[in-house]
Amino acid sequence: MKKNANTFPKNFLWGAATAANQVEGGYNEGGKGLSSFDMVPFYEPEIRKDLDVLTSDISYEQLKEYKQSDKGINFPKRRGTDMYHHYQEDIRYFAEMGFKVYRLSIAWARIFPTGVEKEPNEAGLKFYEAIFDECLKYGIEPLVTMSHYEMPLYLVEKYNGWESHEVIAYFVHYAEVILERYKGKVKYWIPFNEMNMTVFSPYTGAGIFTENIETKNIETAKYQAIHHQFIASAKIKAIAKKTAPNAQIGCMIARLENYPATCAPQDVLSALKDDQLNCFFLDVFARGKYPNYMYRVFAENEVEFEITEEEERLLKENTVDFISFSYYMTYIARFDPTSQRNSGNLVDTEINPYLEKTEWNWTIDPIGLRITLNRLYDRYQLPLFVAENGLGATDQLVAGKVHDDYRISYLKQHIEQIKEAVRDGVDVFGYTVWTAIDLVSCGTNEITKRYGFIYVDVDNYGKGTFKRYKKDSFEWYKRVIASNGEKLE
């Protein structure tokens, strides 16, 4: 009788991830144009809570104000942790840990500064080429996100981001250029980071200002933008099949695994509906068509947009090669939501009394990761990649050391559950911890919420040496990779 593997496959892709807008800095160097996230400021939590915008979003009024004068405003994503100038050193550290894969993103505005140029910016292309060469020198496979929550600011202002159909062609042109240029160096591609986040945070996910939408309602604008991103992804897959046949084109969502609050049928139904809203993205990517349950959601929310026959064909013919997702925590579904809620990854949730929480109140639920891996594999039967999983914490640098045993404990428990999922028969081929090195938090724009194996000496205001220090988790992860996930102590 067939037996499931007892542990991680030999060629399992161990590594970690970053995103250009959070790690690079050099926001106006090498010909880069301004991007949507260059305009998101850091405010101390007590000021931010009074602003009328979600997490990493800004309002159109704020954008206008910052464009007139950005003096005195703190934009941490413009400096990241300065990987732009440290990439050789940083990748050397990744190699020392033994990474098999490094998930990074390309900043679209480095390649096409406004997004609408015909010719790419050669300096931008060379920058990523150097990064890929550096990775390959150490046998590290780059896995590339084409757009990790950012786009050229020009497209945001001119087209209200992905709300406009025209942005598809600009993005596909950008994708075509990078696929062609890097086809000998990059195999794994993800067109969009966490595509479902547009539902919760339209500026973050799609460069949309709700004040500027053209359609009748914001729900229509959001799903229109999401539709445009589906079409762009399908076109990219079609191009890759011809020009880079070895490329593997995947998709990504923020996995919002949820549990019904009780066994009351209404709560179970709420959980099912929440799960459908999360799986909707994967259903389109993996099955090549809109699932029927979404037509009811659209009708009930007066969402209206056209899906042409040609688009239906494109989606059908260009499904993804693999599914990737971020996993941080689990959520609770209740028909009649209570007001006692905790913050979460862009989405808040009821408190789960069975789980511990991080300093930022995100629940810690390793078993939820095994549940997710099983559910997604049962549903799609496609290879899975855990593209993000990690712990945001306030690390203390003392005498050049960071003792982050809490991070080791978090990661250890999650890796154990991935191993259990492998034993359950799930086809999971890689795991990239969020993050390889400290960077600016997406949701709060602070550096204080650190995720990396490598500490970077810089504070929320850009003060510091930017010197790199290995945390205790660095040596620990090195052992994990060297033992292919067997030595977790």
List interacting residues with ligand BG6 (CB under 6 A).
Answer: 19, 193-194, 254, 326, 345, 388, 392, 434, 441-444, 449
| Number of C-beta neighbours around residue 475 at 10 A | 14
3-state helix, strand, coil in the chain (%, to 5): 45, 15, 40
Distance CA(135)–CA(100), nearest Å, equals 9
Token code pair at residue 120? 């790419």
Phi, psi of 192 (to 5 degrees): -130, 135
Smallest gap from residue 147 Cβ to ligand BG6 (A): 11
Distance CA(105)–CA(21), nearest Å, equals 8
Would you say 153 or 393 has its CB closer to ligand BG6?
A: 393
Phi, psi of 450 (to 5 degrees): -100, 145
Smallest gap from residue 432 Cβ to ligand BG6 (A): 11
Distance CA(58)–CA(25), nearest Å, equals 20
Would you say 232 or 442 has its CB closer to ligand BG6?
A: 442
Query: Does 317 qualify as catalytic in the annotation?
Result: no
Query: Does 310 qualify as catalytic in the annotation?
Result: no
The answer to whether the CB of 19 falls within 8 A of the CB of 442 is: yes
Would you say 194 or 404 has its CB closer to ligand BG6?
A: 194
3-state secondary structure string across 71-91? CCCCCHHHCCCCHHHHHHHHH
Distance CA(351)–CA(373), nearest Å, equals 23
Would you say 244 or 454 has its CB closer to ligand BG6?
A: 454
Distance CA(21)–CA(106), nearest Å, equals 9
Token code pair at residue 319? 């499904």
> Which of the residues 141, 150, 163, 194 is marked catalytic?
194
Smallest gap from residue 360 Cβ to ligand BG6 (A): 7
Token code pair at residue 452? 């990396």
192 pairs with which residues across the strands?
147
Smallest gap from residue 19 Cβ to ligand BG6 (A): 5
Report CA 420 to chain centroid distance, whole Å.
Answer: 24
Smallest gap from residue 215 Cβ to ligand BG6 (A): 26
Smallest gap from residue 104 Cβ to ligand BG6 (A): 12
Would you say 74 or 266 has its CB closer to ligand BG6?
A: 74
470 pairs with which residues across the strands?
454
Angstrom distances, CA of residue 468 to CA of 29, 82, 93, 273: 22, 11, 10, 45
Would you say 171 or 327 has its CB closer to ligand BG6?
A: 327
Residue with CB nearest ligand BG6?
A: 443
User: How far apart, in Å, do the first and last CA atoms of the chain sit?
Assistant: 33
> Which of the residues 134, 141, 157, 388 is marked catalytic?
388
Smallest gap from residue 311 Cβ to ligand BG6 (A): 27
Would you say 33 or 443 has its CB closer to ligand BG6?
A: 443
Distance CA(165)–CA(163), nearest Å, equals 7
Write out the catalytic residue numbers: 194, 388
